[in-house]
């Protein structure tokens, strides 16, 4: 998608900053009339000084001794300026009280800076864009700090896997997170890519893994959507209310068009013909449009197939065709909780 600069958004932000500065200035002037009186007179003198400078440059014949007038005005402005500064100091008023309080002084909240005569996006605009993408993603607050960089694989046991005794639980978890990294690092819009189906029990780190993927993609300026499937169903059912401002079609359209869809805890919802048909619509459409999705579940692919009712087999086939299956083993949540209580000391 690439970085999209919204000029209107930044123009509005700058306008609001100026309005805030104007309001602050008026409050100061109202509270300290003496400051306003001196400021008004000082501004009038400065304006007169600029006009005399122009007249002097133009050398108008009707102007009497402009140089002398400029000199006397300079002295008066200097004396009045000193008086003005003393008043500000007396009332503990900041010298820049009339200026907008910019969030980013470098670009003055315009979102752009000039470099070698070329206008470029300021670093703050990328941060702003990231926050917008993160807010839209639906990622829970607890996962906003999840990252591959901060991943602690030592939380996983060095015991051997039950189903695959040739590797340890920790080695397997590294393999799973490496697959997630590969997806996040290499994803490109429009490129046909396989998604992931990650099975794991409660506390195995599945949601954290989705957080790592989401945050890395957002850092790359790629839109993602995180959903817990049971929450999605409740949200869709709420659209049946006559007072709802959103339709089922609008909710589904967003999930179908988003570059990367992350579905957490699939299979924990109460399965009905309605819930399974909604899931099939999402998965089948994304399959046909070559839009990848990543699914986590407490259940194996076969168990999911059996739980999905009449549409189960079709859903199972689509997931198998489009996703690489991975199993995440361990209970890092329990280990983290013990660590916080000092239970691992």
State how far the Cα of 107 lies from the Cα of 113, in Å rounded to an integer: 5
Q: How far apart are the C-alpha atoms of 70 and 68, rounded to whole Å?
A: 5
pLDDT at 68: 64
Give this prediction's pTM: 0.68
**How many angstroms separate the CA atoms of 18 and 14, rounded?**
6
Query: Does the structure show a pLDDT above 90 at 196?
Result: yes
Q: Following CA atoms 199, 205, 209, 211 in sequence, which dihedral angle do they give, to the nearest 10 degrees?
A: 130
Each residue's pLDDT tens digit, 231-246: 988 999 899 988 888 8
CA angle 333, 296, 260 (to 5 degrees): 120
Average model confidence (pLDDT) for the chain?
A: 86
Per-residue pLDDT of 291-301, as tens digits, reads 999 999 998 88
pLDDT in tens, 320-343: 889 999 999 988 876 665 555 554
- 108-141 residue pLDDT tens: 888 788 888 887 777 777 777 788 889 999 999 9
List the domain boundaries for the chain: 7-90, 138-340
CA distance 200 to 299: 7
Element housing 301 (H / E): helix 301-307
Residue 58 has pLDDT above 80, yes or no: no
Nearest alpha carbon to residue 202 among 302, 304, 333: 333
pLDDT tens digits, residue range 148-169?
998 899 999 898 888 778 899 9
Model confidence at 104, in pLDDT bands (50, 70, 90)? confident
The candidate with the shortest Cα–Cα distance to 229, out of 287, 197, 276, 290, is 276
The correct CATH number of 138-340 out of 3.40.50.300, 2.140.10.10, 3.50.30.50, 3.40.470.10 is 3.40.50.300
Cα separation, 116 vs 25, whole angstroms: 35
Are the beta carbons of 278 and 243 closer than 8 angstroms? no
Q: Taking residues 15-34, what's their average pLDDT?
A: 92
């Amino acid at each position: 998608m690439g970085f999209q600069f919204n000029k209107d958004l930044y123009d509005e932000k700058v306008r609001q900053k100026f309005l805030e500065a104007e309001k602050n200035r008026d409050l100061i002037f109202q509270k300290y009339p003496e400051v306003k009186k001196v400021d008004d007179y000082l501004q009038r003198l400065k304006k007169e000084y600029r006009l005399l400078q122009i007249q002097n440059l133009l050398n108008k014949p009707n102007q009497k001794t402009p140089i002398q007038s400029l000199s006397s005005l300079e002295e008066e402005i200097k004396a009045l300026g000193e008086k003005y500064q003393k008043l500000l100091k007396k009332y503990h008023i900041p010298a820049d009280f009339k200026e907008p309080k910019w969030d980013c002084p470098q670009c003055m909240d315009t979102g752009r800076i000039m470099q070698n005569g070329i206008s470029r996006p300021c670093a703050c605009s990328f941060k702003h864009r990231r926050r917008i993408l993160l807010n839209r993603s639906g990622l829970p607050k607890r996962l906003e700090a999840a990252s591959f960089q901060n991943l602690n694989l030592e939380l996983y046991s060095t015991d051997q896997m039950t189903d695959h005794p040739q590797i340890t639980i920790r080695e397997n978890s590294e393999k799973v997170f490496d697959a997630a990294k590969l997806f996040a690092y290499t994803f490109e819009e429009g490129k046909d890519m396989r998604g992931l189906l990650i099975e794991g029990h409660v506390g195995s780190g599945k949601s954290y893994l989705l957080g790592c993927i989401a945050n890395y993609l957002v850092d790359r300026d790629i839109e993602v959507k995180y959903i817990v499937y049971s929450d999605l169903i409740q949200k869709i059912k709420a659209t049946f209310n006559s007072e709802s401002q959103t339709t089922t079609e609008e909710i589904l359209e967003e999930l179908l068009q988003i570059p990367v869809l992350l579905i957490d805890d699939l299979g924990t919802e109460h399965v009905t013909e309605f819930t399974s048909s909604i899931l099939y619509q999402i998965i089948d459409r994304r399959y046909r449009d070559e839009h990848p999705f990543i699914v986590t579940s407490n259940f194996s692919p076969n168990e999911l197939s059996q739980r999905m009712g009449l549409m189960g087999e079709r859903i199972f086939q689509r997931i198998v065709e489009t996703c690489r299956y991975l199993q995440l083993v361990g209970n890092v949540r329990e280990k983290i909780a013990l660590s916080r209580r000092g239970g691992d000391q």
